[in-house]
Amino acid sequence: MTNKKNIPFRCIVCGKSALKLYHEFDNKKIIKIEHCSECNEVVDKYIEYDPVIIYLDAMLLKIPAYRHILLNQKQPVLSMIKLTIGLLFCDAFTKLMLQESEFSNEKLRPDRVFYAAFELNLYWNYFLAMIQWFIHISVIIFLMRFSERKKESNSSRKTLLIRSIIISNCGKILVIPAILWGQTYGIIYLRLSQLFVLISNIQALRVATNLEFGLIHLLFIVGLGTFCHNMVLLVLPESIN
């Protein structure tokens, strides 16, 4: 009997474990898409889709898209590190722009992003973002670990949780154009993007835990993680000027 821990894939429709996504015939350049033994749907239709469509579906908060990205698609460690660095930069730049808008009545120019690299405060905000992310992820993993019925130590599960949080934070990229080109409603766009990221976190964690936790439970966990994330600014200064 196959151990479920060794089964590499999941059906994106029902979440049932699957041994493979497709069957490749030996002497022919033909593949046959596998169907789920539980729901009889295609195990993962996204293997035939363009990555742009996959990530658009993820932006629409579709669980099948998250299952494909998190469970059926291997992300190299280097790619995850690059994504984390990029998202931290988005966070740092957003903080810098909001700080400058508070002290100046002038509208932010779209080319401001190119000059920000020369400001010391950008790197301070990057440091703040790193600490906030570390606390945010640590609190969520600790609370989910504490809430689990089976207290088994599983490094691969923790890695999946970390990946799910990082990938579901991609919505932060949308904040930069919103702040640069939508100065009148910049704060509204920021709050909407924060709400979107929070919902994305919940959806990704639902997939990572195979719907083990309820929505209210995950909302509490992610909400508390976000609260602790924001508490950092009460301890450390927002700028070094």
Q: 144-175, pLDDT tens digit by residue?
A: 888 876 655 577 888 999 999 999 999 888 87
Q: Name, in order, each residue with C-beta under 8 angstroms of 109's C-beta and a sequence gap of 6 or more.
A: 180
Per DSSP, what are the bridge partners of residue 18? 9
The reply to whether 228 and 110 lie within a common domain is yes
The reply to whether 19 and 112 lie within a common domain is no
End-of-domain residue from the set 51, 72, 93: 72
The reply to whether 146 and 45 lie within a common domain is no
* pTM exceeds 0.85: no
How many domains, the chain? Answer: 2
The reply to whether 26 and 116 lie within a common domain is no
The two tokens of residue 123 are 């790197």
Residue 241 is assigned to a structural domain of this protein: no
Look at residue 2 in the predicted model and tell me its pLDDT: 40
Predicted confidence band at 113 (pLDDT cuts at 50, 70, 90)? low
Domain that holds residue 146: 77-235
- What whole-number distance in Å separates Cα of residue 96 and Cα of residue 86? 15
The reply to whether 13 and 108 lie within a common domain is no
As a whole-number percent, the residues of the chain with pLDDT over 90 amount to 39
The reply to whether 58 and 125 lie within a common domain is no
Look at residue 200 in the predicted model and tell me its pLDDT: 94
Predicted confidence band at 42 (pLDDT cuts at 50, 70, 90)? very high
In the 3-class helix/strand/coil scheme, how is 142-166 assigned residue by residue?
A: HHHHHHCCCCCCCHHHHHHHHHHHH
Provide φ and ψ at 203, rounded to 5°. Answer: -60, -45
